[in-house]
A and B are shown apart, each in its own frame.
Chain A
Amino acid sequence: KQEVTQIPAALSVPEGENLVLNCSFTDSAIYNLQWFRQDPGKGLTSLLLIQSSQREQTSGRLNASLDKSSGRSTLYIAASQPGDSATYLCAVMDSNYQLIWGAGTKLIIKP
């Protein structure tokens, strides 16, 4: 059964730092992996979608990588800003077209 893990559960860094969020999954048979952002009490906003045949995707200061063989993805945030503070969730789409979710990493960027 596919399991998705995000470590750490929470992260606090000073403004301006580059940082990496981690996502690992147990079954490499996936269709894609998505990173989402969730602000407190709000819905999810899709940040990046990486298809299983891709190695990375970039959007502005965000870069997501995917290594299917090792079951890992990272979300790199460059030059972090207080507005980046949120919970970041990753989800993999498994062979049954179901999204399997990590519990998220709560990110706090200190001004």
Chain B
Amino acid sequence: DGGITQSPKYLFRKEGQNVTLSCEQNLNHDAMYWYRQDPGQGLRLIYYSQIVNDFQKGDIAEGYSVSREKKESFPLTVTSAQKNPTAFYLCASSPIRGRTEAFFGQGTRLTVV
């Protein structure tokens, strides 16, 4: 079954901790994205990657880091520098960055405790 898998579904972070959210796709897509979703707001782009070993900051990259060592994988680390990390995080991919449809994972809900 082709698709995007995010894990875990729920994640709890203590103050000062770094946590990593997983995103894996088997769609052979070049482009991958991380978004943050807060209630009543549109999705906001954190980071995106168009090819392996390359990624670019989105609108709200501060306090986050990513890597793209493999085409299939685009993990997101929420660092202790992110002051308000509680949110719903969505990973997406598309064949190329441009005129094509984006596909989304099921999301990870991160809560600071």
Query: Hey, which bits of chain A sit against chain B, CB under 8 A?
Result: 4, 9, 31-32, 34, 36, 41-46, 49, 51, 89, 91, 93, 97-104
* Interface size, B (range): 20 to 34
Q: Is B41 an interface residue (CB 8 A)?
A: yes
* Nearest neighbor of A99 in chain B, beta-carbon distance: B102
Q: Is B101 an interface residue (CB 8 A)?
A: yes
Interface string of B76-110 (1 = CB under 8 A from A): 00000000000010101000011101111111010
The reply to whether B102 and A46 form a contact with Cβ atoms under 8 Å apart is yes
The reply to whether A99 and B45 form a contact with Cβ atoms under 8 Å apart is yes
The reply to whether A43 and B99 form a contact with Cβ atoms under 8 Å apart is no
Q: Which residues of chain B come closer than 8 Å to A41, judged between CB atoms?
A: 88, 107, 109
Among A49, A100, A101, A104, the residue within 8 A (CB) of B101 is: A49
> In the complex, what distance in Å separates the CA atom of A41 from the CA atom of B43?
14
The reply to whether A46 and B101 form a contact with Cβ atoms under 8 Å apart is yes
Q: Is B40 an interface residue (CB 8 A)?
A: yes
Q: Tell me the minimal C-beta distance from B31 to chain A in angstroms.
A: 9
Among B40, B97, B106, B109, the residue within 8 A (CB) of A97 is: B97
Asked whether A44 and B101 contact (CB < 8 A) given A98-B45, A99-B45, A101-B43, the answer is no
Q: Which residues of chain B come closer than 8 Å to A102, judged between CB atoms?
A: 42
The reply to whether B102 and A43 form a contact with Cβ atoms under 8 Å apart is no
